[in-house]
Amino acid sequence: MRRSVVPLPRAASALPILDISPYMSAGGCDASRRRTAQALDAACRDPGFFYLVGHGAPAEDIDRLHVLAKQFFAMPQARKEELALSRSPGSARGYQRLGENVTQGRRDWHEAIDLYAELDGRSVDLEALARPPGGLQEAALPQLRTFALGRNQWPDEPQAFRGAYEAHFSRMAGVGRALMRAMADAMGLPTAYFEPLT
């Protein structure tokens, strides 16, 4: 099996590199999973960040996403504004113009298109987040439901944009589940402990 690895940016080389591949398939070797869980535990404790490899996302696919994003942002402003975040209140999905996003009281001088995996209300148990191990306040569930079950505002152009991003979201959902299994093992919990939350 050929594994693809995205080249590390120079600055990222100082971060721990975590190979998640032992958790990406059901047949992962127990010893390899233990090593990955231990490395994850160490990376989360110090420095608190890590670079993930072995996730199976081909570098060509990621490069294609970057090309499509550049094509989208190169479109005329009026076209991008058709997808304005303000047209999708509560779901936080859509286009943000320069300076629209505010973090800790400061404007972020970037433009963005916020897209998320589109969930089916039957495929995810949001109420599980209000039960242990979740701990979310029940009163927050309606707002979370609006956000989590929201629909993306997809651009018509570039034409391949939606399909490429949906395929990427699907692949990353599998990576997220693998990472949560590794996290549970790292914490000494049953491997499936976080499954209700993913």
Q: Which residue has the higher pLDDT, 163 or 193?
A: 163
- What band does 196 get if pLDDT is binned at 50, 70 and 90? confident
Backbone angles phi, psi at 157, to 5 degrees: -130, 145
Q: Is 69 helix (H, G, I), strand (E, B) or coil?
A: helix
Under 8 Å between Cβ of 14 and 49: no
**How high is the pLDDT of residue 1?**
39
Predicted TM-score (pTM) of the model is: 0.80
Q: Is 165 helix (H, G, I), strand (E, B) or coil?
A: helix
Query: Could you report the per-residue pLDDT of 33-89, keeping only the tens digit for each?
Result: 999 999 999 999 999 999 999 999 999 999 999 999 999 999 999 999 999 998 888
User: DSSP secondary structure string, 80-144?
Assistant: HHTTBGGGSTTTT-EEE-TT--EETTEE----EEE--PPPPTTT--GGGGGSTT----GGGHHHH
Q: Which residue has the higher pLDDT, 11 or 109?
A: 109
Q: Which amino acid is at 80?
A: K
Q: Is residue 9's pLDDT more than 80?
A: no
Considering the chain, what is the average pLDDT of its residues?
88
Bridge partners (DSSP) of residue 94 are 114
Query: Could you report the per-residue pLDDT of 156-175, keeping only the tens digit for each?
Result: 999 999 999 999 999 999 99
